[in-house]
Structure 1
Amino acid sequence: MDAEAEREAQLAARVREHLQPGETLRAAVWVSRPDGPASAGPTRAEMSPFRFRRPVPAGPGARPGVHGAPRSRAVDLDGHIRIVTDPRILARTDRRLLVLAKRLGSWRDLFRPASGALPPLRLCWECPRADLASATGPGGRLRLTFTDGSAVTLLTPAAGLPPFLAA
């Protein structure tokens, strides 16, 4: 078994620790959000002196790629997704959609070199599987649309996307 396959097996094992009795893991994928605007430089709107007159929305759902009311499933999910340097795990089961994150260890873990093993996970967010209307994804971008009409687009490794979409 190569290193990547072993890491995926470890990931699946760690996700299974959070499943309910009788629940089946269908797929899991690392997800993140873009870490800010593109590196093309500031836009005219950002340079305009009038930008200070209009309040810039900073609340839930204000990020590009998130569509929905403040209490919608997509906005709630987006609140638990971080940038690419701190990815989350999105797991799809036969009953739920879960977001898991690496659990913070003790202060001693800060001084230990990182091993190849995945640290324990903690459950950050969940919703019933029935609330997910569709999952689509061209080239490393996963778009989740929920039954409440909200949607969110997340970044994923391109190789992990097809198994997640097929689940």
Structure 2
Amino acid sequence: MDAEVEAGVREHLQAGEAVRSAVWVSRADGRTEAGLSRAELSPFRFRRIRPDRPGDRRGLHGVPASLAVGLDEHIRTVNDPRVLALTGQRLLLLAKRGLFRRSARELRLLWQSPRTALRTATDQGNGRLRLDFTDGSAVVLLTPVAGLPAFLDA
């Protein structure tokens, strides 16, 4: 975790709370490496419009009101990564401030949950972090491979 990110996370901590670890997270953009599929080129693709509802994304398991879905609503693709921070009491998701928004704080808090709500955090390989919550929901996030071991050890 670099010093700038750690300082940004520290601004959102409560009294007596300390940062244990933080890692950049994002989601896969959902594209295949092969480019367009035959289904995407077909004129019939417009017949059934599937809404993009919470819980429909690959790597996300849980009902719409679950912790994993709540977290996933704030995760973006690798072009706009978020900071997932772990403290003694909470799991926090923070984002960089917009380019044209001036603020004393570099990061803004988007989502939080009690640390006790996080059951496990496991490495799925290739920089994929799986978070399992006590409500039975789970989400898989992309992370830099180098930052993952420190987050898992915290």
- State TM-score, norm by structure 2: 0.88
Distance in 2 of aligned mates of 1:45 and 1:88: 32
Partner of 2:92: 98
Instruction: Give the 5 Å matches for 1:8-157.
Output: 8-46=2-40, 51-106=45-100, 120-137=106-123, 138-157=125-144
- Name the CA distance, whole Å, in 1 between partners of 2:10 and 2:26: 21
Q: Per-residue CA shift, 1:38-78, capped at 9, x if unaligned? A: 12134455456665454424111111111110111111100
Per residue, is there more strand in 1 or in 2? 2
Counterpart secondary structure, 2:2? helix
Q: Which runs of 5+ in 2 are unaligned?
A: none
* CA-to-aligned-CA distance 1:92-135 (integer Å, 9 cap, x gap): 11111001001124379xxxxxxxxxx71100110111110110
Normalized per residue, the structure richer in helix is 1
Return the alpha-carbon distance in structure 2 between the equivalents of residues 9 and 142 of structure 1. Answer: 22
| Counterparts of 2:43 and 2:135, CA distance in 1 | 38
Give the TM-score normalised by the residue count of structure 1: 0.82
- RMSD, aligned α-carbons: 2.1
- 1:113 — aligned with what? none
Q: Which runs of 5+ in 1 are unaligned?
A: 1-6, 109-118
Q: Distance in 2 between matches of 1:49 and 1:107?
A: 42
Identity of aligned residues (%): 62
